Amino acid sequence: MQKEILIITNYFPPERGAAANRIYSMAEAMGDTGFTVTVVCPLPNYPTGKVFREYGGKISSVESVSFGKIKRLWIWPSNSANKFVRLLSMLSFSLSLVLFFSFNKTPKKIFIQYSPVFVGYTAVCLGRLFSKKIILNVSDLWPLAGLEMGILKKGWYYSLLLKMEHFCYKNADLVVGQSEEILQHISNFKKEKPFFLYRNIPNFDIPPIKEKSISKEIKIVYAGLLGVAQGIFEICQKVTFPENVSLHIYGAGPEAGKIKNLQKRNIHFYGELDREELHKELQNYDIAFIPLINRIYGSVPSKIFEYTRLGLPVLYFAGGEGGEIVERESLGWVVAVNDLGGLQSFINSISETELKSFPKAIVQKNSALAFDFKKQFDAFISSIESV
């Protein structure tokens, strides 16, 4: 009997980021286990807020791939700071989903990436309307995360988002979460199982360790979204780097321009690289930096799993469950979230001797043992098949 599944996600390659990478790896692995996968997503536009050039002028696109098909639907893209404009953008993709379900035959099981809320809510409503089995993937606790980041405030709009959130949880046949905190939060509204913990474990071959050069300079690297939540610009403004320590920044996002124009000793900005090229570059550094300006309940940055698999010890500055993982698996150093004084003290005191506390080869081994993509995925497939 042929196994089919529909994946609905707001983010998918060639877009970059944790969600896009996770969903792609998942779709590819599903194909390897015998599923025929159809991915439904918007025309790629994240994080620029503009449809990528190679998809320009298209209303939709269908691509055949090894695991099945990718159907990219129309969206009115925007990365505007204006909440109303962003809402219209999300609603435009929601409208495309309604049209897609109305005119296409779809598999019995659908996997829904919950965030953004309006997209997840629309997909869950359509799933219920068309009598589908719903697997809901929750990687961020919206709207709570928006409240903690200062993007949202309590009021009628926040209350509406809460109702939509709870509806999605209650109508899911299987809830998949990227952290223990997420699943604990959802259990307050959905008492019955099943739940499944699905970490953002990457699926790539472990590369050989690149030994440190003879230079005594300690190179710290950040790679990822350059937004307000990550706080890289604020950190660059408030933290100084001694002569033997440097910060190297890769990525794109709202604060990229300000970071590029920042003239400060030992801070270097390189822009955005594709994932494969970035992995090669990262191996030239000594420490991977993982910050959040405020602790976000439920958040476990996927960079923990990705960078340690490359052999990079991490400097974790984001709080919560992620810090517990770093300490428990001996993957690097943890500085209390938003403690810029503590971060400055670490940077001032870091030395080659301190680097030996977390040798690259040991960090990589610890990561590979603790985070096994195949083992997790096999258990995940068993959960999906039981729905």
Residue 287 CA to residue 283 CA, distance in Å, equals: 10
* Distance, CA of 253 to CA of 155 (rounded, Å): 28
What does the domain layout of the chain look like in residue ranges? 3-201+372-385, 218-370
Domains 3-201+372-385 and 218-370 share a fold: yes
pLDDT for position 214: 64
Q: DSSP of 107-135, one letter per residue?
A: -SEEEEE--SHHHHHHHHHHHHHTT-EEE
- Of the chain, the end-to-end C-alpha distance in Å amounts to 16
**Count of CA atoms in the C-beta half-sphere (13 A) of 169:** 25
**CA proximity to 284, closest of 246, 327, 235:** 246
Residue 213 pLDDT: 67
Q: What pLDDT, on a 0 to 100 scale, did the predictor assign at position 169?
A: 95
DSSP 297-359: TT---THHHHHHHTT--EEEES-THHHHHHHHTT-EEE--TT-HHHHHHHHHH--HHHHTTS-
| pLDDT mean across residues, the chain | 92
Q: Which residue has the tokens 């321009």?
A: 257
Specify whether the CB–CB gap between 34 and 28 falls below 8 A: no
Whether the link from the prior residue into 242 is cis, omega within 30° of 0, is no
Residue 182 confidence (pLDDT): 95
The whole-angstrom separation of Cα 347 and Cα 220 is: 10
Contact of 158 with 117, CB cutoff 8 Å: no
Looking up tokens 């472990």 gives: 206
Q: Which residue has the tokens 């997840």?
A: 120
Residues 165, 117 contacting (CB under 8 angstroms): yes
**Residues of the chain scoring pLDDT < 50:** none
Looking at the domain 3-201+372-385, which fold is it?
Answer: Rossmann fold (3.40.50)
Beta bridge partners of 368: none
Superfamily of domain 218-370: Glycogen Phosphorylase B; (3.40.50.2000)
User: Cβ(230)–Cβ(292) under 8 Å?
Assistant: yes
Among candidates 269, 283, 280, 276, which has minimal Cα distance to 212?
283
